[in-house]
Amino acid sequence: MNRLLEEIRLVEQQALLLHSEAEVEAALDRMAERINRTLADSDLLVLCVINGGIIAAGKLLPRLDFPLTVDSIHASRYRNATSGSDIHWLYKPTTSLAGRSVLIVDDILDEGHTLQAIVDYCLAQGARQALTAVLFDKQLGREKPVKPDFVGLSVANHYLFGYGMDYKGYLRNAPGVYACKEVL
């Protein structure tokens, strides 16, 4: 096994489970209920923030019970590292955002710079409204530049993986929310 894979296995073994699959699935149910109640008549465009938001969006979408369309956006600030830097725009939606109600779906709101930049982008493209849904909101104990409209769970301030969140590009598929030991 190569060294990176050995590290991934070790991180996985030593990680602490913070939220089980059942807890996250229940949070997804509650989020979807709120979105169904609020946005059913908005001709909604759901924007999945790849890569982290893939699982959040993939699990949320079948819970939404009204007509909507889907596109993706990729703005990456961490790029396989455990601390953020400048935003790299890797993919922009091909759907016109002009006049649309957009719901941006991401896995985690941490410092909030990524989501703020995406909201600003959508509004600059002429979106009528740019709402935000994050499966996890990290408790930082300070104000963030954006307050999400829909939140699944509030999570502790550790570097996390699972449910879309990666450790060095791996472990997005972990069926729960885990804190990495080295930053515990």
Ligand X SMILES: Nc1nc2[nH]cnc2c(=O)[nH]1
**Contacting residues toward ligand X, per CB under 6 A:** 78, 108, 110, 159-161, 165-166
Q: Which does 63 bind (CB under 5 to 8 A by kind): ligand X, ligand PRP, none?
A: none
Determine the 3-state secondary structure of 74 from DSSP.
Answer: strand
Q: Which residues contact 118 (CB under 8 A, 6 or more apart)?
A: 47, 49, 73, 75, 104, 106, 130
Q: What are phi and psi of 13, to 5 degrees?
A: -65, -35
Nearer to ligand X, 121 or 159 (CB): 159
Q: Which does 23 bind (CB under 5 to 8 A by kind): ligand X, ligand PRP, none?
A: none
Q: Which does 137 bind (CB under 5 to 8 A by kind): ligand PRP, ligand X, none?
A: none
Q: Is 114 in the site for ligand PRP (CB under 6 A)?
A: yes
Binds ligand PRP (CB under 6 A): choice among 76, 148, 150, 167? 76
Nearer to ligand PRP, 48 or 97 (CB): 48
Nearer to ligand X, 51 or 125 (CB): 51
Minimum distance from residue 53 beta carbon to ligand PRP (Å): 6
Q: What b/e readout covers 44-56, taking b as 16+ CB neighbours within 10 angstroms?
A: bbbbbbbbbbbbb
Binds ligand PRP (CB under 6 A): choice among 35, 46, 108, 153? 108
Contact of 157 with 173, CB cutoff 8 Å: no
C-alpha distances (whole Å) from 141 to each of 41, 64, 116, 138, 181 are 35, 32, 18, 9, 21
Contact of 184 with 158, CB cutoff 8 Å: yes
List the interface residues with ligand PRP, window 13-52 (CB under 6 A).
Answer: 49, 51-52
Measured over the CA atoms of residue 12, residue 181, residue 169 and residue 62, the dihedral's sign is positive
- Contact positions toward ligand PRP, by CB under 6 A? 49, 51-52, 76-78, 84, 106-115, 166
